[in-house]
Amino acid sequence: MIKVLIVDDEALAIRRLEIKLARYTDVDIVGTARDGDAAVAALTNLSPDMVLLDINMPGMDGLDVADYASALNIDVIFVTAFNQFAVQAFERNALDYLLKPVNNDRLGQALDRYRQRQKRSTALDKVGELNSVLAQLRAQSLENVPSKPDSGLWIKDRGRNRKISLESIEWVEASRDYVTVHMVDDRSHFVRDTMHHFEAMLDTALFQRIHRSTIINILKVKEVNMRKGVQYLLLQGGAELRVGRAYKVQTSLRLKEIFINT
C-alpha cells in the first residue's frame, strides 16, 4: 500500500483529492493537514510514503514542508493552483507538480511515477546488497571454500589432453557442440563437449550457471549491475556477462549462500 498524507489549507480541496484517490486500491490515506506546522507533525507521526502538498498555506509554506519531507525520504507531489513555483518544486526533487483542478489522468500518472521509482529503488537495493556481499566474499581466503579432493580437471583441447585447475577457470561459454573455457590468465581452451556434460564435471561449490550458455566461477564475480531490468555480472578479468531471466533468482541466492558458508 502507498501511504499518502494530504496537505492543503482548503477543506474542499482535501475532500476532492480523497475522492479521486479512493479509486486506487493500493492507496491508503493515512491523514490530512491544513497548514505547514500540522503537516510537519503528521510527517513525523504518520510516516507516509508520499505527501500531496499544496504550496500556499498559512505559516510554513509547502516548499519548506517539502524540505522536511525530503529529509525523511518521503516523496512529494505538489498540488497547487500556481505554476510559478514549478522550478523551486523540482529543485526539491519533487516527484510531480499537479495544477488544480487536478486531472484524473495526471494524478494517475503521478502515482505510476511513484510506483516505478519504488521498483527501481528496490532493484538498486538488491544490487547494492549483492555488491556488499561480494566485497566481503572477495576478502575471504579461497582456502575456506569447500572443494573436491582433486580440484583439477582433464580436458582435451585441440587434440591435446590438459589438466587445468578449477580455481583458475573464470567462466565457461557454450557454442553449439563446443565449450570455451576462459582462464584467469586470459588464456582459453576450446573443448568439444556439451554444456550439460561439462557442467557435471565442475565443482558446485565454485561454479554457477547464469545462462543456458554461460557458467561462471562465482568467486570471480567483482560487481553486480542492473540495466533496464537485466542483471549483469562483472568478472575480475573484465568480462561482463548477462544473467538469464530463468537463472536470476538462483544466481542471487547462490552468491549469498556461498558467502554465508565461507
Tens digits of pLDDT across the chain (262 residues): 999 999 999 999 999 999 999 999 999 999 999 999 999 999 999 999 999 999 988 878 888 898 888 888 899 999 988 877 777 776 677 888 888 999 999 999 999 989 987 877 655 555 555 565 556 555 544 444 444 444 577 777 666 777 888 888 999 999 877 899 999 988 888 888 888 888 888 888 789 999 989 999 988 988 888 887 788 999 989 999 999 888 888 888 777 665 544 4
Say which DSSP state 238 is in.
Answer: S
Asked whether residue 244 is domain-assigned, the answer is: yes
pTM: 0.49
d(CA 103, CA 258): 51
Asked whether residue 160 is domain-assigned, the answer is: yes
Neighbours of 147 (CB within 10 A): 13
Q: 69 and 155 in one domain? A: no
Cα Rg for the chain, rounded, in angstroms?
Answer: 27
Asked whether residue 200 is domain-assigned, the answer is: yes
Asked whether residue 222 is domain-assigned, the answer is: yes
Q: 247 and 167 in one domain? A: yes
Decide if 233 contacts 219 (C-beta within 8 A): no
Number of domains in the chain: 2
Q: 67 and 169 in one domain? A: no
Asked whether residue 122 is domain-assigned, the answer is: no
What Cα–Cα distance (Å) separates residue 37 from each residue in 1, 40, 91, 178?
26, 5, 22, 70
Beta bridge partners of 208: 216
For 197, phi then psi, to 5°, come to: -70, -40
Neighbours of 26 (CB within 10 A): 8
Beta bridge partners of 209: 215
d(CA 141, CA 101): 63
Indicate the residue type of 188.
Answer: S
Q: 231 and 180 in one domain? A: yes
Q: Which three cell numbers stand for residue 194?
A: 556439451
d(CA 113, CA 134): 32
Q: 149 preceded by cis ω (within 30°)?
A: no
Say which DSSP state 236 is in.
Answer: T
Q: What is the pLDDT of residues 96-151, one digit of tens each?
A: 888 899 999 999 999 998 998 787 765 555 555 556 555 655 554 444 444 444 45
User: Could you give the count of Cα atoms lying within 13 Å of 221 in the half-sphere of its Cβ?
Assistant: 35
**DSSP structure string for 3-55:** EEEEE-S-HHHHHHHHHHHTT-TTEEEEEEESSHHHHHHHHHHH--SEEEE-S
Q: Which three cell numbers stand for residue 204?
A: 558446485
CA angle 28-30-35, nearest 5°? 130
Q: 247 and 196 in one domain? A: yes
- Domain residues for the domain of 177 are 142-260
